[in-house]
Amino acid sequence: MADIAGAIFSALSCICGTLNCNCIDQHRNFNDDVGELRRKLDSLTSRKQDIESRIQVAEACGGQMVGQQVQEWLKQAQEINVKVRAFLEKVQGVKWYKRACLDKRVCRKINVVKEMLEIGCFPEGLVIERAPARGNIIPTENLMGGISTKEEIWEYLMGDEVGMIGVCGIGGVGKTTIMKNLHNDLQRETRFQKVIWVTVSHPLNVFKLQKKIASAMCERLPEDEEVMMRAAALMEIMRRERFVLILDDVWERFSLKDVGIPDPKAQNGCKVVVTSRSIEVCSYLHCKIVKVQPLSQKESLKLFLNTVGDGVLEVPGLEEILKLIVKECAGLPLAIVVIAGSMRGVDDVNVWRNALTELRDHVMSVQDSNDEIFKQLRFSFDRLGSLEVKNCFLYCSFFEEDYVFSRRELIESWIDEGLIDGLPSRKAAYDRGYAIIDRLEKNFLLEKETSGPIAIGGYGFDVDGAKMHDVVRDMAIISIGPEFGYMIKAGMNLVELPNEQGWVKDPKKLSLMANNILKVPLSLSPKCPTLSTLILSSNLNLSEIPESFFGEMLALKVLDLSYTAIKTLPNSISNLENLSALRLQHCMKLKYLPSLVNLRGLKKLDLHGARIKVFPQGMGKLIGLEYLDLLFCPNLKEIPTGILPDLSNLQYLAVCCLQETTMVRNLEEVARLKKLETLECKFDDIRDFNYFVNKFKDFQSAAAYSLMVARAEDMIRKSKYELVIADCEIGEECIVLPNNLEDLWIIDCKNMKSSLDKTALLEKANELRRCHIRDSEEIECVVELDSSSSSSSCCPVLNKLELLELWGLHRLCELVRVEGVATPLHVFSNLKQLDISYCPRMRKLLPLELLQALQNLETIYVDDCEQMEEIIASSDSDTLSSDKFTFTFPKLRILRLWDLPQLKSICSDEGVVLDNGQPSPPPHLRVIEIGEESKEWWESVEWDHPNAKNLLQPFLKYSNSWWD
């Protein structure tokens, strides 16, 4: 804790310029380091999960004990996880000059996490007695069929004869499922030291493959070396272990040696298993070939019923039809679940009979494909009904293989394509979008992916993502795409545009997302009179597109050049009269746009994070514009007045309010946008902000808003209605808060001398639930009461607050300051969480007078407050301390006290600890957590009541702060 103080003092010297620290540079390092810390922490988390699931399996085998070391590691990993996450969360809001000086702290944490990762490899295994598990368990369905295939592979794995095994079969037959089951069984085997699973992406990329294998072995290869050198390094690593390597879904020939995989032989006891749709690839690799056969009729039926629900058998007369339908699935598990999924909930025999006829027609009519399964998948696709939903499905294949897209990103794209159309609002469009995603997921045409928040450019965060099964995606691209005129070449490592001869005839949509295309050749002018969508996004180094390129693409409706290095857009864009969406997110080299005057049909212009210098010409003519994102365009200094009023159809607007001269007019103009649903807006100062809120009361009816008063660029996004005030002076100034504000952040605000209730901040914010005050130097207390103000009438808003967070407030001494005679106070009566950190002057946390009000408090976190002595303070006033004061926290669950070197008592002598007549702990208390450094203190505390310590002891938990 000395460190944070040190950091803060050096931060102060930093500002004064007395230290030779180049803050600007350090700022960049800081962000890198925070990123690094975050990644390391993610690795630690997944390592921990991995170990836990391995232990689960080991324990399920019975009779095994987890080693002491491993237990200790898991415990520490958990602690570190909690602390670092809390730290990262908080660090977000810190201004750059302080960040620079926090860097040391970040670096130290990186080292600690790194060290944990290193310790956490446990080459000797996790459990005592039997040999360890050597890979993680992969969640998988139970096997329906393929038992004999699995047994055959198992024999090869256990025997000495065969080193390379090739598991072949058509797409969707269940190769991967068999291997996942085997992989999990292998965890219980002692024969191998490592079981490695790697999904080989298509097309094969040796560099990536090496990386995946190495990281599965807890190793890293040099990033900047040639592939050959990396192969040698990988070979070295792999030689140390007796491994099984499973390479799932291999499409192309390659050589083990080039990648760096040692030849599996009887001598080294290693095995390589390849799954592939191609026997030819397996033969090339000299594999012993094992063919995966389709399911039997009986197995098929069982799987079908599992998916569709047993209930259907109760429908009279259905069984026969059902069996015939299952037969048409040709024993392919993927086909069975997809078709069963699309029939779920249908209990009318006629509908089933009709489905059978349709399915048979499909199987007969879909000819020219090698993949049997496309026929059945195609049936499910056709049952999607409307053309819009079908197109929504097909759009998912525009992203590269295994890409996890956020729902928001997907729905916005569908809106751009005109697939969700004719609805009165964007909210309604989103609702429709979510319904479509749900439908696709229920039909197994999309898979839900909840791997944590997915960041998506200007679209914020999404918790749920979605993904396409690779076979389903192949079907969409190969079997259906061409019929619709779609050409999908996403994530194919292309370095130039595909040759025109290879294009489908009269393409309608073309996705070249996520390749490495550098430039479009001069004078290329593809004749695509019907092309409506062109996606070139995430070709990170694409810098030039010639004037001629769009010359014969006049029907273009959607153009996406986001995440490219494009410097200028060709003027020929101006002629794309039918363009409706122009996406240019994060085009960091783009300074100017050509005139947009002719783009009368434009509905979306997304320049989030682009570097344009001048407001595009002709914007005023874009009367159909619904979505305009100009947020974080640092070079854009002005929005000319007189333009926004013409954009009366705007539903989504994200802007910074820039130049004083035009700002007022701009704001008045924004206020007149009646269709606006979501507003994201950044203001330079409070005056502007107040003006806006006063002038524009209606924006509060928007479905969502996110406002920021700041010079900084970070945007914290947590709730629907939020305001972030950062880096401002809020001394005397009154801030007019929107009535329906839920979340208020005050970050780095100077001159906040008076307490929260005196700033007049909160007067109208009746919906405010969460308040965060961070890094604001001058505030000394949160609430200030004098004897004249009756405390019950004080600031009613504070009584509705559920969360109060105070972080890095250097002068804060008190939560509530009472002048004169104290009586029990009634503030914070709804507070559930109190979170206070890095407040070095705080000595006493909760004054006695306040306790009766805090009946709803559930958690108290106190972290790193240098001078904190008492959690529940003794009273300075005589009136209260003459009597013993009795109180209880009926809902308190967690009391966490970290890094409080001066802590003397949780509760002072005058107050009886947690009394209920007899001392008793709060009924919901789960844990009292204190830092290891306070262990001695706890041991030595003398308690008023002889029983108190014994009562609390069971809840006590020490947390380790050695890493801090």
Ligand X SMILES: *[C@@H]1O[C@H](CO)[C@@H](O)[C@H](O)[C@H]1NC(C)=O
Q: Which residues bind ligand X (CB under 6 A)?
A: 516, 540-541, 554-555, 578
Helices (H), 217-348: 227-239, 256-259, 279-284, 297-308, 318-328, 333-342
Token representation of residue 53: 């699931």
Peptide bond connecting 922 to the previous residue in cis, omega within 30 degrees of 0: no
Residue pair 852/875 in contact (Cβ under 8 Å)? The answer is no
Q: 504: phi > 0 → left, psi -120 to 50 → alpha, else beta; which?
A: beta
Q: Which is nearer to ligand X, 600 or 695 (CB)?
A: 600
The CB-of-424 to ligand X minimum distance in angstroms stands at 22
- The backbone torsions φ and ψ at residue 57, rounded to the nearest 5 degrees and listed phi first, read -65, -45
Element (H, E) at 884: none
CA–CA separation, 798 vs 783, rounded Å? 9
State the DSSP code for 317.
Answer: T
The CB-of-512 to ligand X minimum distance in angstroms stands at 14
Q: Which residues pair with 870 in a beta bridge?
A: 844, 905
The CB-of-567 to ligand X minimum distance in angstroms stands at 13
Q: Which is nearer to ligand X, 554 or 803 (CB)?
A: 554
The CB-of-438 to ligand X minimum distance in angstroms stands at 31
Q: Which is nearer to ligand X, 366 or 514 (CB)?
A: 514
Residue pair 668/645 in contact (Cβ under 8 Å)? The answer is no
- Do strands 915-916 and 918-919 pair parallel, antiparallel, or not at all (unpaired)? antiparallel
Residue pair 824/801 in contact (Cβ under 8 Å)? The answer is no
State the DSSP code for 480.
Answer: I
Which residue, among 337, 340, 338, has the nearest Cα to 311 in the 3D structure? 340
Q: Which is nearer to ligand X, 176 or 533 (CB)?
A: 533
Q: Which is nearer to ligand X, 548 or 792 (CB)?
A: 548
Task: Compute CA 904 distance to the chain's CA centroid, rounded to the nearest angstrom.
Answer: 41
Q: Which is nearer to ligand X, 540 or 941 (CB)?
A: 540
Q: Which is nearer to ligand X, 109 or 611 (CB)?
A: 611
Q: Which is nearer to ligand X, 26 or 564 (CB)?
A: 564
705 Cβ neighbours under 8 A, 6+ residues apart: 678, 679, 680, 681, 699, 720, 721, 722, 738
357 Cβ neighbours under 8 A, 6+ residues apart: none
Q: Which is nearer to ligand X, 575 or 852 (CB)?
A: 575
Which residue's Cβ has the minimum distance to ligand X?
Answer: 555
Q: Which is nearer to ligand X, 587 or 747 (CB)?
A: 587
- Please give the order of strands across the beta sheet that includes 870-872: 844-846, 870-872, 905-907
The CB-of-711 to ligand X minimum distance in angstroms stands at 30
Q: Could you give the dihedral angle defined by the CA atoms of residues 612, 723, 730 and 826, in that order, rounded to the nearest 10 degrees?
A: -170
CA–CA separation, 538 vs 490, rounded Å? 10
The CB-of-576 to ligand X minimum distance in angstroms stands at 8
Element (H, E) at 118: helix 96-119
Q: Which is nearer to ligand X, 518 or 760 (CB)?
A: 518
State the DSSP code for 750.
Answer: B
Q: Which is nearer to ligand X, 380 or 539 (CB)?
A: 539
CA–CA separation, 844 vs 870, rounded Å? 5
The CB-of-554 to ligand X minimum distance in angstroms stands at 4
The CB-of-541 to ligand X minimum distance in angstroms stands at 4
The CB-of-579 to ligand X minimum distance in angstroms stands at 10
Q: Which is nearer to ligand X, 273 or 415 (CB)?
A: 415
Task: Compute CA 442 distance to the chain's CA centroid, rounded to the nearest angstrom.
Answer: 23
Token representation of residue 374: 């496309």
Q: Which is nearer to ligand X, 516 or 751 (CB)?
A: 516
Residue pair 702/739 in contact (Cβ under 8 Å)? The answer is no
The CB-of-453 to ligand X minimum distance in angstroms stands at 27
The CB-of-536 to ligand X minimum distance in angstroms stands at 14
User: Can you give 647-690 as a three-state secondary structure string?
Assistant: CCCCCEEEEECCCHHHHHHHHHHHHCCCCCCEEEEEECCHHHHH
CA–CA separation, 888 vs 879, rounded Å? 20
Residue pair 475/393 in contact (Cβ under 8 Å)? The answer is no
- The backbone torsions φ and ψ at residue 589, rounded to the nearest 5 degrees and listed phi first, read -105, -5
The per-residue b/e assignment along 593-609, b for 16 or more CB within 10 angstroms, e otherwise, is bbebebbeebbbbbbbb
The CB-of-18 to ligand X minimum distance in angstroms stands at 38
Q: Which is nearer to ligand X, 540 or 803 (CB)?
A: 540
Q: Which is nearer to ligand X, 204 or 540 (CB)?
A: 540
CA–CA separation, 125 vs 618, rounded Å? 67
State the DSSP code for 315.
Answer: S
The CB-of-556 to ligand X minimum distance in angstroms stands at 8
The CB-of-516 to ligand X minimum distance in angstroms stands at 4
Q: Which is nearer to ligand X, 27 or 508 (CB)?
A: 508
849 CB neighbour count, 10 Å cutoff = 24
The CB-of-559 to ligand X minimum distance in angstroms stands at 14
The CB-of-778 to ligand X minimum distance in angstroms stands at 45
Q: Could you give the dihedral angle defined by the CA atoms of residues 228, 229, 235 and 238, in that order, rounded to the nearest 10 degrees?
A: -120
Q: Which is nearer to ligand X, 418 or 460 (CB)?
A: 418
The CB-of-501 to ligand X minimum distance in angstroms stands at 24
The CB-of-625 to ligand X minimum distance in angstroms stands at 17
End-to-end CA distance of the chain: 8
